[in-house]
């Protein structure tokens, strides 16, 4: 598997949500949503609440369907989620996701705040004009590992598992910009924003398991409330005001022979100089050790141009790959990558997970990072991983040597920037004209992070010790 970032400490694997197993391997199709229509996310009146279609409508933007015993009995040990988004009367890029909600056993319904959930897939809608084709967008996810959760006998004794589909849209701009959205045929403005079709694809059904350990750590806040998740300008969204660091503590109830943490994150802030457009180094820590480093984006958005049928500033003209890899944290029309951090054996007890983004600015105190995080382990054996090929570009191959108080490095391609960070992500050194060596004179003994960057925005991180 190609690596976009360097695994540090306990190791990590980045999963690209658009890379999926071959269709021939997954012969069972399980429909869950079929062209289900969503409405104005700010409107408190639920438009289709009267329909008897098996869907619980918590809001116009958040629907849920119980995964019945008949559905769960079909799940094998490979699992894929296929999603098709349909254009209606929202022509802007919005955030959307699928969650597994853990609902107390036997409840016919639930309210949003009364249950825990894990996010298993996230996507960004494109700028779509419903009158222009293509008017649908596919999103494909390898969610192998989720199958282990759906087949967990102990979990299913305690909970019913529901598949939530959360897509927040508003029609106000489309009333002015998209023909046919200003009148629903009765003289009223249309309220429908998107349609969603979702189905599981799996292989031959497999028996239940009893070795899974699942701990929801954090799930991003729903959009309709406007609540913050992770930034440096709100005391509820960071460890310390002014510092882009947030720590979550969680308790693992049983020893695990193998475990992972699953992370989905996307950066938002569309104001001038906003975090949506500026690619930052993210440093992820597990139990106070560096577990992963990554820089979001790094891929071309040109493949998604065909789905962005509404005129917009992002796709105003063709842009080369060299532009996109420096510009975008994500693309309108893209499935947001899921990152998996392999932990190995984990003891029962309290653990911590932390994200630092040392250079984040949040211009004008705007913007928000939206992480979702959960722990999955197995009491015996190996935790299941999604076996997909990384689609983002690999960082430069850098070889380093630390001799005395001097760091020397070699790379087969040109480097444009070298930075040294402390272990707690404070920038100590930056060189936009790298020479092949960095003096570490005056540095105290300890662990440091060296970041090597190329002109097209790729990066490699090496951990160094003095």
Query: 398-465: same fold as 13-378?
Result: no
Q: What is the pLDDT of residues 43-66, one digit of tens each?
A: 999 999 999 999 999 999 999 999
pLDDT: which is higher, 4 or 212: 212
The confidence band for 4, taking pLDDT boundaries of 50, 70 and 90, is very low
Which residues neighbour 92 within 8 Å (Cβ) at sequence distance 6 or greater? Answer: 125, 127, 169, 170, 173, 310
Q: Per-residue pLDDT tens for 357-398?
A: 998 999 999 999 999 999 999 999 999 887 543 334 467 889
Which pLDDT does position 1 carry in this prediction? 22
Q: Which residues contact 305 (CB under 8 A, 6 or more apart)?
A: 315, 318
Which segments of 79-206 are extended strands (E)? Answer: 79-87, 95-104, 116-124, 136-142, 159-167, 192-202
Tokens, residue 394: 């690999």
Question: 305 falls in which pLDDT band (50, 70, 90)?
Answer: very high
Question: Of the ranges 67-81, 332-346, 394-408, which one carries the lowest mean pLDDT score?
Answer: 394-408
Give the span between the Cα atoms of 357 and 426, in whole angstroms: 10
Cβ neighbours around 445 below 10 Å, total: 6
Q: What per-residue string of b and e applies to 7-37 under the rule 16 or more CB within 10 Å gives b?
A: bbbbebbbbbbbbbbeeeebeeebebbeebb
- pLDDT of residue 412 exceeding 90, the answer is no
- pLDDT, residue 430, reads 86
Query: Does residue 325 register a pLDDT over 80?
Result: no
Which of 90-94, 286-290, 319-323 has the least mean pLDDT?
319-323
Q: Measure Cα distances from 114 to 102, 110, 111, 161, 327 in Å.
A: 10, 7, 6, 14, 39
**Helix, strand, coil shares of the chain as percentages rounded to 5?**
10, 40, 50
Averaged pLDDT for residues 181-188: 93
Confidence of residue 457 (pLDDT cuts 50, 70, 90): low
**pTM: predicted TM-score of the whole model, two decimal places:** 0.90
CA distances from 305 to 75, 186, 302, 332, 449 (A): 35, 34, 5, 9, 37
Q: Where are the domains of the chain?
A: 13-378, 398-465
Per-residue pLDDT, 3: 25
Average pLDDT (460-466) is 86
The pLDDT of residue 2 is 25
Q: Mention every residue, 6+ apart, whose C-beta is less than 8 A from residue 180.
A: 130, 131, 190
Domain formed by 13-378, architecture: Sandwich (2.60)
Please state which of the ranges 135-144, 150-159, 329-338, 446-455 shows the lowest mean pLDDT: 446-455
Q: List beta partners, residue 195.
A: 37, 86
CATH architecture of 398-465: Sandwich (2.60)
pLDDT at residue 394, as a whole number: 63
Which of 102-116, 225-239, 288-302, 362-376 shows the lowest mean pLDDT across its residues? Answer: 288-302
Question: Nearest CA to 461 among 284, 302, 317?
Answer: 284
Q: Which helix (H) or strand (E) holds 72?
A: helix 69-72
In the structure encoding, which two tokens stand for residue 209, read together? 């398991």
Judged by DSSP in three states, 269 sits in coil
């Amino acid at each position: 598997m190609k690596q976009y970032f360097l695994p540090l400490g306990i190791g990590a694997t980045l999963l690209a949500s658009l890379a999926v197993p071959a269709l021939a391997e997954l012969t069972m199709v399980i429909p869950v949503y079929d062209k289900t229509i969503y409405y104005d996310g700010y409107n408190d009146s639920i438009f289709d609440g009267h329909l008897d279609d098996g869907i619980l409508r918590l809001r116009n933007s958040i629907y849920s369907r119980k995964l019945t015993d008949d559905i769960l009995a079909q799940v094998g040990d490979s699992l894929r989620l296929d999603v098709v988004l349909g254009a209606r009367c929202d022509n802007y890029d919005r955030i959307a996701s699928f969650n597994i909600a853990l609902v107390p056993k036997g409840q016919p319904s639930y309210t949003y705040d009364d249950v825990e959930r894990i996010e298993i897939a996230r996507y960004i809608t494109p700028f779509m004009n419903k009158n222009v084709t293509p008017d649908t967008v596919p999103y494909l996810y390898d969610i192998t590992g989720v199958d282990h959760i759906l087949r967990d006998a102990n979990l299913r004794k305690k909970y019913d598992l529901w598949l939530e589909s959360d897509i927040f849209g508003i029609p106000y701009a489309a009333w002015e910009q998209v023909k046919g959205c200003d009148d629903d045929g009765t003289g009223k403005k249309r309220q429908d924003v998107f349609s969603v079709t979702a189905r599981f694809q799996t292989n031959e059904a497999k028996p239940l398991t009893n070795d899974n350990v699942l701990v929801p750590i954090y799930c991003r806040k729903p959009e309709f409330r406007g609540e913050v998740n992770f930034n440096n300008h709100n005391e509820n969204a960071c460890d310390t005001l002014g510092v882009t660091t947030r720590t979550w503590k969680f308790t693992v109830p049983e020893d695990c022979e193998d475990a992972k943490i699953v992370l989905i994150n996307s950066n938002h802030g569309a104001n001038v100089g906003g975090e949506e457009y500026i690619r930052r180094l993210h440093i992820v820590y597990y139990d106070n050790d560096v577990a992963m480093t990554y820089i979001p984006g790094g891929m071309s958005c040109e493949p998604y141009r065909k789905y962005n049928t509404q005129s917009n500033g992002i796709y105003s003209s063709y842009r080369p790959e060299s532009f996109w890899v420096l510009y975008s944290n994500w693309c309108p029309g893209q499935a947001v990558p899921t990152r998996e951090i392999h932990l190995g054996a984990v003891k029962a007890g309290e653990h911590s997970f932390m994200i630092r983004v040392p250079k984040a600015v949040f211009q004008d105190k705007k913007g928000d990072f939206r992480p979702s995080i959960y722990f999955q382990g197995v009491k015996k054996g190996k935790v299941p991983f999604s076996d997909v090929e990384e689609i983002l570009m690999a960082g430069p191959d850098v070889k380093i040597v630390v001799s005395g108080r001097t760091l020397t490095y070699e790379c087969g391609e040109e480097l444009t920037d070298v930075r040294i960070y402390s272990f707690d992500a404070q920038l100590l050194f930056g060189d936009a004209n790298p020479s092949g060596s960095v003096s570490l004179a005056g540095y105290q003994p300890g662990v440091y992070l060296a970041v090597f960057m190329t002109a097209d925005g790729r990066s490699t991180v090496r951990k160094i010790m003095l």
